[in-house]
Structure 1
Amino acid sequence: MFTGIIEELGVVTGLERSGGNLHITIGAGMTPELKIDQSVSHNGVCLTVVDITNGKYKVTAIEETLSKTTLGELKQGDIVNLERGMKLGARLDGHIVQGHVDQTALCTGVLEKNGSWEFIFEYDPKLQNITIEKGSITINGVSLTVVNSGKNNFSVAIIPYTFQNTTFKLIKKGTRVNLEFDVIGKYVKRLTELNSRSPPASS
């Protein structure tokens, strides 16, 4: 479980394909504090630390993960958003984030707003994921509030701190990102679907 508050930026220092898996080596300041089997969010994707060597750590993304996220597009030298699992009893500064990416989205516009930025994203509506204005959304692991919400698009406002300390400074029109929709909203949507399919009660 995560909060969507990015701890630091890591650098991809190695990529190795093995069958349908991708082994990713990351250089990060948090590495000395990590342990084998620990969960770390990488651009919003929860992955398990499988090796720590020479101040760098390795995680493995399986084929299922690669098919639903942007991790398969990583190149050596790329920067990724990192967050370790949340601590029980700590403040929840973002929102409840599982690290399970629902789908990807395409950045369709970046607007400068005199000291902040508005990023616009569009996603495939076939999976029927939804956003609501002032609701929560996770983009590449960053907890954000939806500004404008459409049927298959939405926008978020980015303050200078978030812009400088996450990969948002690298996102431009045409960039693909990972989306995790609000887990509470997903449960409500699922329950509504099930109720609408239930046969009427007999009298």
Structure 2
Amino acid sequence: MESVVALFPDPAQARQALSALQARGFERERLGFALADVVAENDIAQATGVSPEAGAPGGSGTVIKGTLYGTVIGILVMLPVWGLLLAIPETRIYSNGALMAMLLVTIGTAGMGLLFGALAGSDHGDHVKLLRRMGVPAAQAERFGQGIKNGQTLVIARDPDGSRADEALSIMRRSGAVRLEDVQGGGKLQSERDGQNGH
């Protein structure tokens, strides 16, 4: 299956592209879209009958990252206190207690990081991972993901046998898909076919 992926600067253009694709016989079950604005997402879904694309879950990487961040925060918060108690002769007697407190705070913040990482890891918001699974190269998937974060709307058309991919790309371009190369700069974007430059 080949996927045609495009970014649109305005949700209305994405809605127009989805409607145009359906008018040309593309089944709505093979179409999808994603954007950060929940209200606009609901409007597009109601107007076109196309379901929003849920990104892939973050997975175990977010759990590990959350735990590491929590550990580092715990150490950074308590290390100066322990160092200060060690540095002042009158308070050295309390340094062992401060060391124990640092250990407990670090364990606590690591646990909180693990918890929040687990919650984030179950969230279906990773559109970069979703695009990578569809075969989009990493650099392009990252740009598409950045485009969604910058307020653009992603539209996906899946073509089972690849025979209508060029037609889907043409429809998206006519509807206002813009240049991918400029996503990070916030300029115009260009639609891309599944790992291929759209030129």
TM-score by length of 2: 0.24
More strand by share: 1
Which structure's relative contact order is higher, taking Cα pairs within 8 Å and 6+ residues apart? 2
Larger radius of gyration: 2
